[in-house]
Structure 1
Amino acid sequence: MKSIARRNQRYWKYLFWLGPILFVAGLTAGFVSNDWEPVPLGLIVAGVVITGLWLILSANQNRWWSRRSTQAGTNALIATLSVLALLGLINFLAVRYPVRRDFTEAQLFTLAPQSQQLVRNLSQPINVWIFDRNQDQQDRELLENYRRQNPQFSFEYVDPQVQRGLAEKFGVKQFGEVHLEAGQQRRLVQVVNNEQRLSEVRLTNSIQQVISDRTAKVYFLQGHGELPVTGEQGGLSQALTALGERNYTTEPLNLIQNPTVPQDTTIVVVAGPKQPLFPSEVKALTDYLNRGGSLLLMIDPNTNPGLDGLLKSWGVTLDNRIVIDPAGASIGFGPAVPVVDTYGEHPITQDFNNGISFYSEARSLELSEVAGVQATPLLITSPQTWAESNLQGDQLQFNPETDVQGPLTIGAALSRKVNNQQSQEARLVIFGDSNFAVDGLFEQQLNGDVFLNSIGWLSKQDEETLSIRPREPRNRRINLAAQQANVLGLTALLLIPLIGFASAVFLWWRRR
């Protein structure tokens, strides 16, 4: 009988191992297949039942529950399970109701109140696209902070070389471009790289501008042979489409019939006039600027728009010579197509770096100082260019007596306060070429960016930005003189150890 009992105990031991094996097999099958019925669930239930039966039978045979060691072990097990349950509950609550605290002195990892309020009130989906291979941890943490405010905000990193269709949709030209999308509207926020991180100021203000109900109105002057705005060949249809995608409305403007710029005007564009404007039209544009308006002039060479008086008051003089660039001929455009890769420091060109834009038959500009006018060259040609006065010969050569050696300015941005008021500003952007924005050339290189960024600056959207101060870590470094550093080093390495050693010797002597 005893041998039979021992044999049964051995069998029960084998039965115990079968229970955990079935339980683990069920868990593995469920996680791998992501389907918990019926086989994985059946294995788990069978494993639990077998293990439970083994525990019950073992308890009846050994009566281990009455032992003192069993009671102590049970108490320890219950205490351990209680602690685990408590930790699990705390972890569940932390995941379900996350709480973040920023203990940095300058609140570096907390969005500004303006950003938080703006994102929390979003009523439409806003998506940020970062066209880059690498994900910077600081940029990602900033975007996560935005997403925690409202599920309407989302972001995604995209490799432009892998998802080329998406990159072409946004017109991506380089790695690191950050684009904002809201419905049909898209906006380039900035370009991030190793030296430039994603800016909360730019991102928040870009969101504000995209969701704003304000619609900017751009009038294109007509009646003097300007570039057509009705979809004709060689017109501005691509530029007008791009403006529509950015929430601008465009209309033609005829100042001959009514020589007054409409009150709802945001920008007036004069694109390539072939004949001079009438004095009444020039006066209307001058009065518009004096009221704090914005004007974009695109004046081709060999034309006289009749704006010399207006431009003189801003310190701008049009050069009648054509800019010659050998680089244009080397890349197949021709010598009368200056290629620009140098830009002035201005909001219009701030993200251009060394990108290329080119201009067909451009004239240069001369800028002179005028009180109250702030002028910034935008497009600067290379030193190898020159302004040519004689195009009749077979070969174009620089003549120091009649030509002007580069670098030359073929685009500029100007601004001035109106009636000495700090809150109102007139703005003027002038280019010595209009062909860079026509259909076919608008989407080439940075040509379209030059036009659209000029419109953006002239619309004064930068004046509507929220006043968010960039947060920077405070410098808490201690600058010590050489003598102070030496004293500190001797104190730490020599004086303090000697004091400790002397104290130990003194205590030893007292206890003798």
Structure 2
Amino acid sequence: MTRKLKKGGYTAILSVIVIAAVIILNMIVGRLPEKVRQWDMSSSQIYTLGETTKDLIKGLDKDVTIYVVGDPANIDKRITSFVNRYGDLSSHIKVETVDSVLHPEQLKKLNATDSTLLVSCETTNKTQSIPFADIIKIDESSYYYYGQTKETEFDGEGQLTGAISHVTSDVSKTIYATEGHGEAAFGNTVSDMLKKSNLTVNSINLLKDGKIPEDCELLLINDPASDLANDEKTMLTDYLDKGGHVLILAGYAEKERPNLTSVISAYGLNLENGMAADTKNFYQNNPYYIFPTIETGSDVTNGVDTRSAALVLQSAALTKTENVPDGITVTPFMQTSDGGMLVTEDAQKKGTYILGAVSEKKLDTGSARLTVFSTPTLIDEKLNTSFTNLTNLTLFMNAVTSNFEDVANVSIPSKSLDVTYNTVTHGGMWGILFIFVIPAAVLCCGLMVWFKRRRL
């Protein structure tokens, strides 16, 4: 065997070893979890799963299959990468791709639609379909006016976690929202979040219907502009006395609402006639734009980071009644700081004021529960879409779901795909530092280095 032949043999063997190593490495990498293979470098962390999702999947005792239905060549890679992260979390979750072009018969068999995620649980025989358009949302007005597709939100976790909760649970709750008093309508975000938690919301006019339906498991009153009628006051009082649950977003009103106030005060809370302000924790130099203090010890604040911020605007104020009725426990979960004020036309009264509280009354069988927020801006659509890092919606959904022992808050807001910029909301010393001090320091250092080198 010549030296050249030996050298060629060694080269061939080395090449085979390298190729085999690359193949084995690719096989190993292919079996790694999606979060290891692809790091979440997105500005809004669209691939990162929160604790709500992790807790839900950790507690799964039923098998769930997520079918990614569509033409693999056209499916957005963000969707497939995101879905695979669910499969990595639990052996109860299996992810399958259904090629709608090559296997249209499988779509018929699954009763699936092209360009969707189909979430299925064989144990409960329930399915839920999620269109890709509900995951990656676009600004329709931008397309209509300018012919450009602008992506605005990624709602993968909210949609998929809600679907898994829906197909694995047999629990369904009915909520009624009152109308007839100028109540504010729920925004799209709040409506979607209620739906994600398997909560059905129906409208009701108490005067027209003459009663609160027997299947009502929570009655919602959102920002009533006018007062309850005497009959409605009686209906609410009777409903609560029988163990009913009511959630009121009262809000500030110029007109007096004695019947509404009476229902609230019967459960140990006064709805004060005035507007709440805070001279310590406020936004943009406006004491009526309050950053509330979040109190621990309530199921409404479970899972809420007290270091995070909620923001309420132009709020009414609540206080405890001097003599809380026997058998009733009042638990505030949201308050002003000790720099709070009650502002009326005639006076300003300092103190710490309640902005949200739960009042429970023990009954012979079960308990009645009244939850009161002093402002409906907590769930204002514009406010919460402008400040996506607020805990407002989490507090609201906790307040809703804590009325039910067998319902968890699995409602997760969508994540913005808009470009985010670092902004300084208050200039002051920061403006002086960045505009004058730092440039002056850099200039001085440069002059010193130049002068030193010039002398050399």
- Counterpart of 1:336? 288
Write the deviation string for residues 223-256 of structure 1: whole angstroms up to 9, x where unpaired. Answer: 1121135xxxxxx343223322332222221010
Query: Is 1:245 aligned with 2:196?
Result: yes
3-state DSSP of counterpart to 1:26? helix
Aligned partners of 2:313 and 2:377 also within 8 Å: yes
Q: CA–CA distance in 2 between the matches of 1:354 and 1:271?
A: 27
- Counterpart of 2:227? 276
Residues 382-461 of structure 1: pairs in structure 2 closer than 5 A: 382-390=337-345, 403-417=348-362, 419-421=363-365, 424-443=366-385, 444=387, 445-461=390-406
Q: What letter matches 2:289 in structure 1?
A: V
Query: Is 1:357 aligned with 2:310?
Result: yes
- Counterpart of 2:178? 221
3-state DSSP of counterpart to 1:420? coil
Aligned partners of 1:327 and 1:339 also within 8 Å: no
Q: CA–CA distance in 1 between the matches of 2:192 and 2:361?
A: 30
Aligned partners of 2:178 and 2:220 also within 8 Å: yes
Structure 2: stretches of 5+ with no match in the other structure? 26-55, 68-84, 97-135, 138-150, 410-456
Residues 298-337 of structure 1: pairs in structure 2 closer than 5 A: 298-301=249-252, 302-305=254-257, 306-326=259-279, 331-332=284-285, 334-337=286-289
Which is worse superposed, 343-352 or 455-464? 455-464
User: Quick one: higher RCO (CA 8 Å, sep 6+), 1 or 2?
Assistant: 2
Q: What letter matches 2:276 in structure 1?
A: V
Aligned partners of 1:295 and 1:429 also within 8 Å: yes
Q: CA–CA distance in 1 between the matches of 2:343 and 2:162?
A: 43
Structure 1 residues 299 and 215: alpha-carbon distance in aligned structure 2, compared to 1, 3 A threshold: same
Following TM superposition, by how much is the alpha carbon of 1:213 offset from its aligned partner in structure 2, in angstroms? 3.3
Aligned partners of 2:293 and 2:336 also within 8 Å: yes
Write the deviation string for residues 296-317 of structure 1: whole angstroms up to 9, x where unpaired. Answer: 1111223433123322331111
Write the deviation string for residues 447-470 of structure 1: whole angstroms up to 9, x where unpaired. Answer: 222222211212443599xxxxxx
Following TM superposition, by how much is the alpha carbon of 1:353 offset from its aligned partner in structure 2, in angstroms? 1.3
Aligned partners of 1:218 and 1:250 also within 8 Å: yes
- Counterpart of 1:137? none
3-state DSSP of counterpart to 2:313? coil
Query: Is 1:147 aligned with 2:137?
Result: no
Who wins on radius of gyration, i.e. which is larger?
A: 1
3-state DSSP of counterpart to 1:430? strand
3-state DSSP of counterpart to 1:429? strand
Following TM superposition, by how much is the alpha carbon of 1:375 offset from its aligned partner in structure 2, in angstroms? 1.9
Following TM superposition, by how much is the alpha carbon of 1:277 offset from its aligned partner in structure 2, in angstroms? 0.8
Structure 1: stretches of 5+ with no match in the other structure? 1-10, 36-114, 127-139, 154-163, 171-178, 187-206, 230-235, 392-401, 465-512
Structure 1 residues 330 and 242: alpha-carbon distance in aligned structure 2, compared to 1, 3 A threshold: closer
Structure 1 residues 28 and 366: alpha-carbon distance in aligned structure 2, compared to 1, 3 A threshold: same
Aligned partners of 2:274 and 2:316 also within 8 Å: yes
- Counterpart of 2:206? 255
Aligned partners of 1:344 and 1:377 also within 8 Å: no
Aligned partners of 1:274 and 1:304 also within 8 Å: no
3-state DSSP of counterpart to 2:16? helix
- Counterpart of 1:376? 331
Following TM superposition, by how much is the alpha carbon of 1:152 offset from its aligned partner in structure 2, in angstroms? 5.9
3-state DSSP of counterpart to 1:29? helix
Query: Is 1:169 aligned with 2:177?
Result: no
Structure 1 residues 420 and 209: alpha-carbon distance in aligned structure 2, compared to 1, 3 A threshold: farther
3-state DSSP of counterpart to 1:348? helix
- Counterpart of 2:62? 121
Following TM superposition, by how much is the alpha carbon of 1:439 offset from its aligned partner in structure 2, in angstroms? 2.5
TM-score by length of 2: 0.56
Structure 1 residues 241 and 13: alpha-carbon distance in aligned structure 2, compared to 1, 3 A threshold: closer
Write the deviation string for residues 7-29 of structure 1: whole angstroms up to 9, x where unpaired. Answer: xxxx5999888766643432223
Q: What letter matches 1:185 in structure 2?
A: G
Structure 1 residues 123 and 385: alpha-carbon distance in aligned structure 2, compared to 1, 3 A threshold: same
Following TM superposition, by how much is the alpha carbon of 1:357 offset from its aligned partner in structure 2, in angstroms? 1.8
Q: What letter matches 1:169 in structure 2?
A: F
- Counterpart of 2:42? none
Residues 107-118 of structure 1: pairs in structure 2 closer than 5 A: none
Q: CA–CA distance in 2 between the matches of 1:380 and 1:325?
A: 10
Structure 1 residues 14 and 446: alpha-carbon distance in aligned structure 2, compared to 1, 3 A threshold: closer
> Identity across aligned pairs (percent)?
19
Aligned partners of 1:120 and 1:150 also within 8 Å: no
3-state DSSP of counterpart to 1:256? helix
TM-score by length of 1: 0.51
Q: What letter matches 1:324 in structure 2?
A: A
Q: CA–CA distance in 2 between the matches of 1:208 and 1:355?
A: 26
Structure 1 residues 414 and 253: alpha-carbon distance in aligned structure 2, compared to 1, 3 A threshold: same
3-state DSSP of counterpart to 1:283? helix
Structure 1 residues 303 and 245: alpha-carbon distance in aligned structure 2, compared to 1, 3 A threshold: farther
Q: What letter matches 2:262 in structure 1?
A: G
Question: RMSD in angstroms over aligned alpha carbons?
Answer: 4.0
